[in-house]
């Protein structure tokens, strides 16, 4: 298996990490902070479904709730499954949220850069929501 180019994106949030995890791990909140991923989030059996920015119906499953802040999720697209690695970690009295973005086969450098900017914007939106609570 090849090794992919990667970028770790992160944001520091001045809010207790356990509350950040609880909010971010609840798919009902995704439309508030993960607009870059898609719209129209709705339960779909053991997953969540939504429409990506291109209008495709996508399914999403999260890792089970856990005490470690793991928010990994699988995104089922028309072309395959993308495993996304995300963590919420303690940082003093706040939280550090990280997302590992991989440049998968067929993804151009321009698309990779665009995806990184989209994910970073979503993380900044999450920060804004939680720091104003």
**Domains assigned to the chain:** 6-131 (3.30.530.20)
Q: Quick one: DSSP state of residue 54?
A: T
How many CB atoms within 10 Å of residue 47? 15
The C-alpha atoms of residue 67 and residue 124 are separated, in whole angstroms, by 23
Q: Under a CB-based contact definition with an 8 Å cutoff, are residues 111 and 96 in contact?
A: no
Q: What's the CA dihedral at 27, 82, 101, 33 to 10 degrees?
A: -20
Full-prediction pTM beyond 0.85?
yes
- Residue range 17-46, pLDDT digits in tens: 999 999 999 988 988 999 888 888 899 998
- Residue range 34-93, pLDDT digits in tens: 988 888 889 999 899 988 888 889 999 999 999 999 999 999 988 889 999 999 999 999
Name the region of 38 (left: φ>0; alpha: ψ -120 to 50; beta: rest): left
């Amino acid at each position: 298996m090849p090794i992919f180019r990667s970028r770790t994106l992160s944001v520091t949030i001045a809010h207790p990490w356990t509350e950040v995890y609880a909010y971010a791990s609840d798919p009902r909140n995704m439309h508030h902070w993960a607009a870059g991923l898609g719209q129209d989030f709705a339960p779909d059996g053991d997953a969540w479904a939504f429409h990506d920015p291109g209008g495709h119906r996508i399914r999403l499953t999260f890792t089970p709730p856990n005490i470690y802040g793991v928010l990994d999720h699988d995104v089922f697209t028309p072309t395959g499954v993308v495993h996304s690695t995300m963590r919420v970690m303690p940082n003093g009295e706040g939280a550090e949220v990280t997302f590992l973005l991989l440049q998968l086969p067929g993804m151009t450098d321009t698309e990779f850069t665009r995806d990184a900017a989209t994910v970073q914007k979503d993380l900044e939106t999450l920060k804004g929501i939680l720091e104003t609570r």
